[in-house]
Structure formats: structure tokens, C-alpha cells
Amino acid sequence: MLVFRRGRLEGRVLLARSADVTIVFVYVPSATTAEEARFITTARAACKRFAATVGRIPRSLPREEGLGRVRATWHSLVEDVAHITPPPALGERHRAFLQALREFERALSPFRPLRVAEAANRVERSARSVGLDGCIPD
């Protein structure tokens, strides 16, 4: 039996072999309520829209024009996340996540690399706290 844990998710994998038959049983208990799962799904969709839109911004643009498009796309992400109603259990963490997103937005204008890096770390930590690991692309 193998026990695994990643973030709030924990599960067990059981491998059994008898003759030529291998049986694999995976048990993953529910890590969230249905309400939390809906929140995470909706927030992940906003993150995917952001990543897709940023991915279409040509890298050949002049720096200021490219940054302007990134800022506009980020602003859309912030607005999308602000309109998602979190379940009560995630309310405070959602507010912290939203605050981190807004701090990152402010760090983009004017662009200061050190401020952007610090704000990105806060976004990553707060995203993880609401179950959105990997939501914001690097």
C-alpha cells in the first residue's frame, strides 16, 4: 500500500497481484465540499482564461505595449475573481487572494521587477491557500 499526500489531498494506492492479474485500487477521500469544488472550478476557469489571453500576446511587441496588455489581462482576472462568491469556509482566504492579486496589479504599474517578484510570491501563497495551486502561470 502506498499513501500519498499533496497539499490538502491525501489518498492510498493498493496494488495486488494474483497470477496474471494486477489489481489497482485508488482511494482519494473528498478534499473539499461541493461548494468549495464549484468555487475552485470557477476560479480555475478564470485563471485559464488569463493564461490563454496572455499566451496570445506577441513577445515581439515593444516592452510598454506588451506590459500594457498584460496589465489589462491581469485586471480582467482580478475582476473575474472578485465576482466569484466563495464558500464561507474560504471567505477570508479568498479576500487575501484577491488582495494579493490587486497588489500584483499595482506592482505592474509602474513596472518594478523587485516589487513584481514579491507580489508574485504573495499571489502564489494565497492561491495555494484557497486550493488554486498552479493557477497563476509563471
- pLDDT tens column, 15-31: 666 656 555 555 444 55
- pLDDT tens column, 82-105: 999 999 989 999 999 999 999 999
pLDDT value at residue 23: 55
Query: 85 and 20, same structural domain?
Result: no
Query: 53 and 5, same structural domain?
Result: no
**Domain contains 45:** yes
Query: 106 and 84, same structural domain?
Result: yes
Query: 47 and 66, same structural domain?
Result: yes
Query: 22 and 41, same structural domain?
Result: no
pLDDT band at 80 (very low <50, low <70, confident <90, very high): very high
Query: 105 and 123, same structural domain?
Result: yes
Query: 121 and 70, same structural domain?
Result: yes
Query: 20 and 55, same structural domain?
Result: no
Q: What is the mean pLDDT of residues 56-63?
A: 91
pTM for the complete prediction?
Answer: 0.72
**Domain contains 136:** no
Query: 27 and 90, same structural domain?
Result: no
Q: Which helix (H) or strand (E) element contains residue 86?
A: none
Tell me which residue of 40, 131, 124 sits closest to 85, measured CA to CA: 40
Query: 53 and 113, same structural domain?
Result: yes
Q: Rounded distance, CA 1 to CA 110, Å?
A: 53
Query: 109 and 76, same structural domain?
Result: yes
Domain that holds residue 63: 34-129
pLDDT value at residue 53: 92
pLDDT value at residue 34: 78
Tell me which residue of 9, 36, 46 sits closest to 135, measured CA to CA: 46
Query: 108 and 92, same structural domain?
Result: yes
pLDDT band at 2 (very low <50, low <70, confident <90, very high): low
**Domain contains 77:** yes
Number of domains in the chain: 2
